[in-house]
C-alpha cells in the first residue's frame, strides 16, 4: 500500500492525554493510582450551567448552529472579555469552536503557510509543538530558563525572528509552568511583534486562575496595533470546569475571523449547540463559581509548592497562575530509584508511576527535559497523599 501522510505520521500522541488515559486505566483495573497528569479541574460543572444545557435539550436546541457559533454565544464572549479584560470586540470578530485546542489549530491554519516559522517559548504545552507541525510549519523553540522565571524576554524573541517567521504562540498564564508575564514584560514582547511584523496567537485560557492578587493582562489590550495582529484564544474549560463540553473561542480582526469561520464550515460544521447554550450561561451568569474554584486552587498551590520545596533533591518555583507546578528533577538524574536508573524526565515519571503510584507528566514533551509537571487540579486529600508518595519514592 502507498505511504501514509507524512505530516500525520510524524505527529506524536499528546503526553498529557496519554498519561491521563494510563492513570484512568490503572484505576479501572483496581490500582490505587493518584492522577496529577491532565490539567482538568476536579470540580463538577456548576449547576446553573448544567441546567442551561438541560433546558436547551428540552427546547430542542439540538440542531446545527452557524459554523462559527451562535450570536448569543458571541455576544456572551464579547461581554465577558470586556468585563474581565477591558477588551472591545464585536460578535463578528468572535469564532467559537470545539475547545481551545482546536482554536489554536484553526488560528495556525489561518495564519501560516507550509515552511513558515512559528516561535514557541519553552516550556510549552505539548500540543503547540505538534499543532505547528500539523500545519506544515516549522517550530522555532526559544527556551525560557527556570532562572528567568520561565519567561521569554523580548530580546530572546527578537533574536529568534527570521524572514520566515510568521507568528508567535504565547501562553499566558502558562501551561506547564504556571508563570504569568507582568504587563511591562508583555509590552516589550508586543513591541517586537509589531516592529518585526509577526502575528501572535495568545492563548489565555487560564486567565481566570491567578493567585496572590496578580491581575490578568490580555495581550490584545496592549494597543490597537497589537490587537490587530493578535488572535486571542480562550475557552470555558478551565475557568468553569467544563473540559468535556469542548467549547473554546477566538477573538481577532473581522477578516481573520471570517477566514476561520470559513474553515470551520468545512471541518467541524459547528460547535455543539447544547454546549454553546451551557457556555452562554457560564459566561453571562454569576462568576462566583470561578472565584470559589480559584480560591481552592490557590490553597492547593500553596501546599504543593511548600511540600516539594521541603524535599531533598527536588524544587519548584511558586507559580502565579493556572494549576500546574514544574518540579525540577535535575538532581535526580543519574540516580537509581527503586531499581530504576533515572536518566530523563520520562524515566522519572515512569518510575514514579510504577513504584510511587503517582501519575505526572514528564517535561520532555514540553521542551523542559529536567522537569516533571504536576497538575494540582485534584482534591487536597489526593495532593497530600501524592506528596507523601513522592517523598517515599525519593527516599529510594
Ligand atoms: N490542557 C490540559 C493539560 O495540559 C488537558 C489535556 C490536554 O489537552 O493536553 O493537561
What does the pLDDT look like over 379-392, one tens digit per residue?
Answer: 999 999 999 999 99
For the CA of 375, the closest atom of ligand 1 is 10
Residue 22 has pLDDT above 90, yes or no: no
Angle at 333 between CA 328 and CA 338, to 5 degrees: 105
Confidence label for 20 from pLDDT (cuts 50, 70 and 90): confident
| Backbone torsion region of residue 350, taken as left when φ is above 0, otherwise alpha when ψ lies between -120 and 50, otherwise beta | alpha
Q: Which of 132, 105, 131 is nearest to 267 (CA)?
A: 105
Residue nearest to atom 2 of ligand 1 (CA): 39
Burial 13-28 (b: 16+ CB within 10 A, else e): ebbbebbbebbeebee
CA pair distance 210, 218, nearest whole angstrom: 13
Q: Which atom of ligand 1 is nearest to the CA of 101?
A: 8
Distance 243 CA to ligand 1 centre (A): 9
Question: What is the structure's pLDDT at 326?
Answer: 98
Q: Could you tell me the pLDDT band of residue 298, with boundaries at 50, 70 and 90?
A: very high
Q: Report whether pLDDT(203) > 90.
A: yes
Closest ligand 1 atom number to CA of residue 243: 5
The pLDDT of residue 334: 97
For residue 301, report the distance from its CA to the centre of ligand 1, in Å: 18
Task: Find residue 139's DSSP bridge partners.
Answer: 118
**Mean pLDDT score of the chain, rounded to an integer?**
97
Q: Say whether pLDDT at 396 is over 90.
A: no
The residue whose CB lies within 8 Å of the most ligand 1 atoms, and thus the one to mutate among 104, 105, 127, is: 127
Q: By alpha-carbon position, which residue is closest to atom 3 of ligand 1? A: 39
**How many A from CA of 39 to the centre of ligand 1?**
5
Residue 317 in this model has a pLDDT that exceeds 90: yes
**pLDDT-derived band of residue 19, with 50, 70 and 90 as boundaries?**
confident
Instruction: Summarize pLDDT for 83-125 with one digit per residue, the tens.
Output: 999 999 999 999 999 999 999 999 999 999 999 999 999 999 9
Residue 17 pLDDT > 90? no
CA 384 to ligand 1 centroid distance, Å:
22
39 lines ligand 1 (CB under 6 A): yes
Percent of the chain beyond pLDDT 90?
95
Q: Does pLDDT of 38 surpass 90?
A: no
Q: How confident is the model at residue 21 (pLDDT cuts 50, 70, 90)?
A: confident
* Cα-to-centroid distance, 16 and ligand 1 (Å): 6
Q: Whose CA is nearest to atom 4 of ligand 1?
A: 39
**Best residue among 21, 98, 125, 372 to mutate for probing ligand 1, ranked by most atoms within 8 Å of CB:** 125
Query: Does residue 15 carry a pLDDT above 90?
Result: no
Which residue is associated with the grid cell 465577558? 80
Domains of the chain, start order: 6-44+289-394 (3.90.1150.10), 48-286 (3.40.640.10)
**pLDDT number for residue 101:** 97
Ligand 1 atom closest to 176 (CA): 4
**Cβ of 41 less than 6 Å from ligand 1:** no
- pLDDT given at position 12: 86
pLDDT of 216 > 90? The answer is no
CA-to-CA separations, 248 to 43, 49, 234, in angstroms, rounded: 19, 16, 6
Choose one of 12, 38, 101 to mutate for the ligand 1 pocket test, by most ligand atoms within 8 angstroms of C-beta.
Answer: 38
Cell of 72: 448569543
* pLDDT 10s digits, 142-199: 999 999 999 999 999 999 999 999 999 999 999 999 999 999 999 999 999 999 999 9
Atom of ligand 1 nearest to the CA of 126: 9
**Ligand 1 atom 1: residue of nearest CA:** 39
Amino acid at each position: 500500500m502507498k505511504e501514509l501522510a507524512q505530516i500525520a505520521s510524524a505527529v506524536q500522541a499528546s503526553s498529557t492525554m496519554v498519561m491521563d488515559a494510563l492513570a484512568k486505566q490503572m484505576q479501572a483495573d483496581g490500582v490505587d493510582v493518584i492522577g496529577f497528569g491532565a490539567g482538568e479541574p476536579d470540580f463538577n460543572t456548576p449547576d446553573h450551567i448544567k441546567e442551561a444545557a438541560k433546558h436547551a435539550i428540552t427546547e430542542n436546541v439540538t440542531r446545527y448552529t452557524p459554523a462559527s457559533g451562535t450570536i448569543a454565544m458571541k455576544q456572551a464572549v464579547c461581554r465577558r472579555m470586556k468585563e474581565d479584560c477591558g477588551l472591545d470586540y464585536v460578535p463578528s470578530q468572535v469564532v467559537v469552536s470545539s475547545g481551545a485546542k482546536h482554536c489554536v489549530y484553526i488560528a495556525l491554519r489561518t495564519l501560516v503557510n507550509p515552511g513558515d516559522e512559528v516561535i514557541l517559548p519553552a516550556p510549552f504545552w505539548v500540543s503547540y509543538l505538534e499543532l505547528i507541525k500539523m500545519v506544515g510549519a516549522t517550530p522555532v523553540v526559544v527556551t525560557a530558563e527556570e532562572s528567568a522565571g520561565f519567561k521569554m524576554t523580548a530580546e530572546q524573541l527578537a533574536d529568534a525572528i527570521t524572514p520566515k517567521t510568521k507568528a508567535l504562540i504565547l501562553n499566558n498564564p502558562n501551561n506547564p509552568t504556571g508563570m504569568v508575564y507582568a504587563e511591562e514584560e508583555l509590552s516589550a514582547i508586543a513591541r517586537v511583534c509589531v516592529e518585526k511584523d509577526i502575528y501572535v496567537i495568545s492563548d489565555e485560557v487560564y486567565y481566570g486562575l491567578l493567585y496572590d492578587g496578580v491581575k490578568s493582562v490580555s495581550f490584545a489590550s496592549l494597543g490597537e496595533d497589537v490587537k490587530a495582529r493578535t488572535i486571542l484564544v480562550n475557552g470555558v474549560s478551565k475557568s468553569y470546569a467544563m473540559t468535556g463540553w469542548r467549547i473554546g473561542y477566538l477573538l481577532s480582526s473581522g477578516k481573520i475571523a471570517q477566514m476561520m469561520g470559513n474553515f470551520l464550515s468545512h471541518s467541524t460544521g459547528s460547535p455543539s449547540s447544547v454546549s454553546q447554550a451551557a457556555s452562554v450561561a457560564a459566561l453571562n451568569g454569576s462568576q462566583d463559581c470561578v472565584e470559589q474554584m480559584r480560591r481552592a486552587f490557590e490553597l492547593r498551590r500553596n501546599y504543593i509548592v511548600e511540600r516539594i520545596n521541603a524535599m531533598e533533591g527536588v524544587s519548584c518555583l511558586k507559580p502565579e497562575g493556572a494549576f500546574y507546578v514544574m518540579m525540577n528533577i535535575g538532581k535526580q538524574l543519574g540516580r537509581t530509584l527503586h531499581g530504576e536508573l533515572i536518566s530523563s524526565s520520562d524515566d522519572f515519571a515512569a518510575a514514579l508511576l510504577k513504584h510511587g503510584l503517582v501519575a505526572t507528566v514528564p517535561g520532555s514533551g514540553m521542551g523542559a527535559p529536567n522537569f516533571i509537571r504536576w497538575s494540582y487540579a485534584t482534591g487536597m486529600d489526593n495532593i497530600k497523599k501524592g506528596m507523601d508518595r513522592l517523598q517515599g519514592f525519593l527516599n529510594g
